[in-house]
Amino acid sequence: MLRSLGLKLTLAFLTVAILSVTLVAIVIGQRTMREFDQFVSDRFQHTLIEQLTDYYASNGSWRGLLDERDHGPGGPRFMRTRPELAGITLLDANANVIFSNLPKGAREFPIPNSTYKEVALKVNNQTVGWLQLNLPPDNSALISGAAELEFLRRVRLATIYSAVATSLLAVLLGWLLARAISKPVRELTLATQAVAQGQLGHQVTVQSSDEIGQLATSFNQMSADLAHATQLRRQMTADIAHDLRTPLSVILGYTEALNDGKLSGDEEIYDTLHNEAKHLNHLIDDLRLLSLADAKELPLNLVEVEPAEVLQRTAAAHQMRAQQVGIALEITTPPALPTIIADPERLAQVLGNLVNNAIRYTKSGGVISLRAGLQGHAVLLQVQDTGAGIDADELPYIFDRFYRGDKSRSNSGESGLGLAIAKSIVEAQGGAITVESTPGVGSTFIVALPTA
């Protein structure tokens, strides 16, 4: 098993390069040999024909052609060609055999897979004889000159040199490429190890937009999310401890004083104790609801619900309180809206929560509007107020657990869980909750739920 990606890639490049170079070398080698073979054969025939016609032209006949005195021992060169290299028969214009290197009586020498051809020998456009040739498929044995052999040797050498050079280049390029590819992967590996060792939020530099670049971007996102989630969890534990301690210390203080006899119980003290206990109970209920929603175990009674009906019910429940603080509460719904699938109790809880917030953050004389509308396959339920609004830098956090906009109010009874619960409940019903707000003008909370 090769452990390094770089080594694997280098070897892969090298293998591909060697395979292709070998293939190219074989193809070029064969092709060169074939062409060269053809060239040799053509030249052999050409020289033979030229010598013969030249002889006839200067002599006026074939007579004396085979005379050894003119040509040296063995006669003309073509007579010395062995029949298995090329079968040669020369005939005069009347088809009488003048010369043949074939065995006596044979007209054709049986060279396997050979080609036979007959060429008319012409002098001044007159046929003066015939040359019958019987050539084998491989003419390399006809190669005579040192120049031809040298040419072949050079071609072979050049092929070997270029194969070696290409392979070396492939190793070098492969190594560089492999390094370029495996470097970001190595960096990512180190980064995941860093995260595993607790360096949450560790980031890598994204160097490209290819798959590895996308992996790096996803890693950065995941690492940042992990750091954020851990930070939230820590913060939440601290917030829970803090929120439980405040009412508990009140209860402890009073009960100890009552127990010591330093305080005698009266209705006001019992009321305070009861309220603090109720507050604790409420907080614990909220936390339980959130943990159920997180575990996707929030019991829901999903039925078809008329959007207008939910809004009317919410308005009726809060009309009185709004009036008491001088805020107008109005409803606008288009006449025919499709029904939605929701748990009516939970939905009323969410809307009640939003209206409660709206009343809390709107001054006397303001208006709270409850609206319903249709958008695609969703019904939008809106709670709009003309209150304080929310700063843009706070907007992303208001649905976070224990987030309270105004830190100084953190002891005034609000837990900072209201919107987090609303979000969990809406999402558990397959919906979404969003907010739009302009500081000083007002806020609009929008609950989108799928139609039936």
Instruction: Enumerate binding residues for ligand ADP (CB under 6 A).
Output: 357-358, 361, 385, 387-388, 390, 398, 403-406, 414-416, 418-420, 443
H-only helix segments in 361-435: 418-428
Q: How far apart are CA 258 and CA 183, in angstroms?
A: 71
**133: phi then psi, degrees, rounded to nearest 5:** -120, 140
Apex CA 422: angle with CA 320 and CA 441, to 5°?
65
> Minimum Å distance from CB 437 to ligand ADP?
7
- Using the minimum distance from each CB to ligand ADP, give the nearer residue, 293 or 305: 293
| Distance of closest approach, residue 216 Cβ to ligand ADP, in angstroms | 35
Least distance (Å) between residue 429 CB and ligand ADP? 18
CA distance 123 to 51: 12
- Please name the amino acid found at residue 126: Q
Nearest to 320 by CA among 354, 357, 359: 359
Min CB(388)–ligand ADP separation in Å: 5
Q: Which is nearer to ligand ADP, 109 or 403 (CB)?
A: 403
Q: Which amino acid is at 125?
A: N
In this complex, which beta carbon is closest to ligand ADP, that of residue 306 or of residue 414? 414
In the complex with ligand ADP, the residue whose CB is nearer, 113 or 408, is 408
Stretch (H or E) spanning 342: strand 340-342
For the bound state, the minimum distance from the C-beta of residue 436 to ligand ADP, rounded and expressed in Å, comes to: 11
Q: How far is Cα 117 from Cα 130, in angstroms, rounded to an integer? A: 10
Phi and psi at residue 370, to the nearest 5°:
-105, 125
Element spanning 432, H or E: strand 432-438
CA distances from 342 to 156, 301, 304 (A): 83, 7, 6
* Cα separations in angstroms, 232 against 228, 229, 390, 402: 6, 5, 21, 10
Q: CA-to-CA distance for 178 and 12, rounded, in angstroms?
A: 10
CB of 13 or CB of 276, closer to ligand ADP = 276
Q: Which of residues 307 and 387 has its CB atom nearest to ligand ADP in the complex?
A: 387
Which residue of this chain has its Cβ atom nearest to ligand ADP in the complex?
Answer: 405
CA distance 398 to 350: 15
Say how far apart CA 281 and CA 371 lie, in whole Å. 33
The answer to whether 177 and 193 are in contact (CB under 8 A) is no
Q: Which is nearer to ligand ADP, 215 or 435 (CB)?
A: 435
Nearest distance, CB of residue 365 and ligand ADP, angstroms? 16
- Nearest-approach distance from CB 234 to ligand ADP, in angstroms: 19
| Shortest distance in whole angstroms from residue 378 CB to ligand ADP | 22
CA distance 90 to 395: 107
Query: Which residue reads 């292709």 in tokens?
Result: 20
* Nearest residue (CB) to ligand ADP, 372 versus 419: 419
Nearer to ligand ADP, 41 or 353 (CB): 353
Give me the count of residues in the chain: 452
**Of 305 and 329, which has the nearer Cβ to ligand ADP?**
329
- Shortest Å distance, C-beta 357 to ligand ADP: 4
Smallest gap from residue 409 Cβ to ligand ADP (A): 7
> Of 178 and 290, which has the nearer Cβ to ligand ADP?
290
In the chain, count of helices (H) and strands (E)? Answer: 8, 11
Write down the least CB distance from residue 412 to ligand ADP, Å: 9
Amino acid residing at 333:
T
